[in-house]
Amino acid sequence: MNQGAGGRDNASSQSPTLNSASETRRSFLGALLALGTAFVAALLSAPLIRFALFPLLRRTTELKESPVGPVSDFSALSAPVERTIQIEQVDGWRRTVSEKAVYITKDSAGKLCVLSSICPHLGCTVPWSVEKNAFACPCHGATFAADGNRIGGPALRGMDTLESKVEDGQLLVRFQYFRQLVAGKEVIG
């Protein structure tokens, strides 16, 4: 090894400015590498975060009106009329279109009223019985009048009415699900 006049190593006798310049360059490159890594991580994580949070931020099912038919079809009702409507449900990324039965009838004031065909007791489909002149649930024997009011049986309330309106001569209905086994009408979806 080459030793200088005081027994020191030549490599360790380099000037302090040369060492500090190489340390400054190293720390700059380290900071640049850290900044680039953080930038790439942010770019890659943005779609993943959006993917994970999308179902939480979006409303599950948007309430849209479904056409039932022309109002003229229901002007001379003597008994409830069953119609099938199509409803679109969005659950996260899945979009489904299903058909639901509704009944168009007149309330006690003679105004058009749309009833859900789902029994408020346990969710069975309630058909109109011409023989009984009432809605009769086949599952547990609940009966309802033509306007949806409860007559008897285990159901705690009458049939659920759905929001409806007339627009451009068409009867439109907004289908909703309601909680069963409760006396009050509670929307659940």
Residues 96 and 76 in one domain: yes
User: Pick from 125, 126, 117, 122: which is nearest to 162 by CA?
Assistant: 117
Residue at 179 is within a domain: no
Q: HSE of 143 in the Cβ direction (CA atoms, 13 Å)?
A: 9
Write down the pLDDT at residue 115: 92
How much is the pLDDT for 60? 56
Within a domain: 79:
yes
- The answer to whether position 139 is within a domain reads yes
- Position 92 in a domain: yes
- Tens digit of each residue's pLDDT (9 = 90 or more) over 1-20: 445 555 555 545 555 566 67
Instruction: Look at the pTM and tell me if it is higher than 0.85.
Output: no
- Burial (CB < 10 A; 0-12, 13-18, 19+), residue 143, is middle
Q: 132: part of which helix (H) or strand (E)?
A: none
89, 38: one domain: no
Query: CB 37: neighbour CB atoms within 10 A?
Result: 10
Task: Tell whether 128 and 38 lie within a shared domain.
Answer: no
Please name the residue that has the structure tokens 């168009």: 104
- CATH assignment of the domain containing 122: 2.102.10.10
Task: Tell me the pLDDT tens digit for each residue of 124-152.
Answer: 899 998 888 899 998 888 899 888 889 98
Same domain membership, residue 33 and residue 69: no
Q: Which pLDDT does position 1 carry in this prediction?
A: 46
21 & 104 share domain: no
Name the residue range of residue 31's domain: 11-57
Reported as a single tens digit per residue, the pLDDT across 147-189 is: 888 998 898 888 989 888 888 888 888 888 888 888 888 887 6
pLDDT at 127: 92
| Beta-sheet pairing, 94-106 with 81-91 | antiparallel
Q: What is the pLDDT of residues 44-90, one digit of tens each?
A: 898 888 888 776 666 555 677 888 888 888 877 888 989 998 888 77
- The whole-angstrom distance between residue 175's C-alpha and the CA centroid of its chain comes to 14
Q: In the chain, how many domains are there? A: 2
How far apart (Å, rounded) are the C-alpha atoms in residues 117 and 114?
Answer: 10
Res 38: pLDDT:
93
Q: Tokens for 184? A: 């009050």
In this structure, the answer to whether residues 53 and 81 fall within a common structural domain is: no
Same domain, 31 and 107: no
- Say yes or no: 77 and 143 in one domain: yes
Predicted confidence band of residue 37 (pLDDT cuts 50, 70, 90): very high
What tokens appear for 9 in the block? 């190593």
